[in-house]
Amino acid sequence: MSRSKLHAVIGGGGLAGSLLALVLAKRGYRVTVLEKRSDLRGKDAPGGRSINLALSERGMYALGNVGLAEKALKQTIPMRGRLIHNTDGSTNFLPYSRHPHEFIRSVSRPGLNRLLLEEASNHPNIKLFFECSVVEVDQQEKTIVVQDAQGTLSKRSFDLLFGADGAGSAIRKSLGLESADVFSSEMLEHSYKELEMPSLENGDFAMSPEALHIWPRGTYMLIALPNLNRSFTCTLFLPNDGAPGFNQLTDADTLRAFFNDQFADAVRLLPSLEHDFFSNPTGSLGTIRCSSWTTSGHSLLLGDAAHAIVPFFGQGMNCAFEDVSVLSEMMDQTQEIDWPSLMGAFESSRIPNTNAIADMALENYIEMRDLVADEGFRLRRRVALELENRFPKQFKPRYSLVSFERVPYKVVQETGRNQSEILLTLCQDVTDFEHVDWTLAEQLVSRLPSLDGEAH
């Protein structure tokens, strides 16, 4: 069948689903998007569900591919580094890069989703349906059962089905991709809670907007990202059970005492702390890995449905967007697309990369909550930036490769391990930057493979 006649159904009109709809529609497919929630266009965001996100190069590239880079950019605030808030109230700024054009951006999740849905609703090949959940898939018949807001069930047919229905994917389950041999879900023993830091009475940001703020406290942390309305969304990441843990923060007095003790400079800027803490949901965090994303050659999972990761590298959405740009590039490389082989090739090329970012995201939790406050870590970070300065072809720090480049995550992971060994060697008997042995550095770095030509 010619591609203009093929009917693609996308379950989930979130970030990945709405972007994918645009990619398919622009290539002539008839696209139906079924979204469980109500239409968020023209609505305020519900509180407590990761309101803002860090958008980096992989995400920007994917938005650029559908002509939305400029519109998306207008919704973002540059964050040029981490601003560390120590317990004594002092702060340190750790830049993300030595290049002024390399930074990450804070973006509103509902704002970005709205932009994608608006663009999709203007495309003649796309039909959007809200308050419609995919509840079942029949792979033989190529039909799905959809439930509307009134609970009425109806059947729809598809030529291609894409499961972009997030970490709790009903499509994944119905396709039989949750059996123990292909699926694993590891919940973190930490959860998160969002808290609002409004703008000051004079309308200014309460803290510098040019940074991702972190209060690292060893086994837990508070972070804050700026919003366009000059507020910040703060997120507390804390063990479920522990001292401290969510299990202990059960009344307003204990909560306030904990914040006064640990986050004194933030607490005075959080006027609705108790309200937010006790009324916003506590979000769980986990890693989902599937070793199979496709069945029968006409159904494919992508985004969080295929690979949910913990948020500590700020990559879940960026990685979901990259799924779409990789799929789109693979489609462009073929004149007559054979979907079963394309879906198989997509899965095989992508899974090693999504597993790699899943691992790196888990490692980054330790870096954010613990290491950024550590002198040794700060020294290694400074040395890493200097190595990049001296040997730009061989050395680009792992954070930069993830956030400012499109080098496959698997390559970044391997490169990062080699770099980490070099940094540990160079810093092992050194307490300050001035005593680093740059001759040894040159020898060690010269053994690294060149990073040129590694982009997707």
**Which residues of this protein are in contact with ligand FAD, per CB under 6 A?**
11-17, 34-37, 50, 53-54, 133-134, 164-166, 170, 192, 235, 283, 303-304, 311, 314-318, 320
Neighbouring residues of 390: CB distance < 8 A, sequence distance ≥ 6:
438, 441, 442, 445
Which is it for the CA torsion 165, 166, 170, 172, positive or negative?
Answer: positive
Count of alpha carbons within 13 angstroms of residue 283, beta-carbon side: 18
Alpha carbons 148 and 126: distance in angstroms, whole number: 19
Minimum separation from the CB atom of position 134 to ligand FAD (A): 4
Strands (E), 164-207: 183-197
Nearest approach in angstroms of CB 335 to ligand FAD is 29
List phi, psi (to 5°) of 33: -110, 125
Q: How far is the CB of 163 from ligand FAD (least distance, A)?
A: 9
Least separation in angstroms between CB 144 and ligand FAD = 9
What angle, rounded to 10 degrees, do the helices at 316-332 and 339-369 form? 160
Give yes or no for a contact between 293 and 351, defined as CB atoms under 8 angstroms apart. yes
For ligand FAD, which is the closer residue by CB, 61 or 391? 61
Rounded-to-integer distance, Cα 365 and Cα 357, Å: 13
Cβ of residue 338: shortest distance to ligand FAD, in angstroms? 25
CA distances in angstroms from 8 to 4, 286, 334, 413, listed in the order given: 10, 29, 18, 34
The least CB distance from residue 293 to ligand FAD, in Å, is 12
Q: What is the nearest approach in angstroms of ligand FAD to the Cβ of residue 334? A: 25
The amino acid at residue 374 is: D
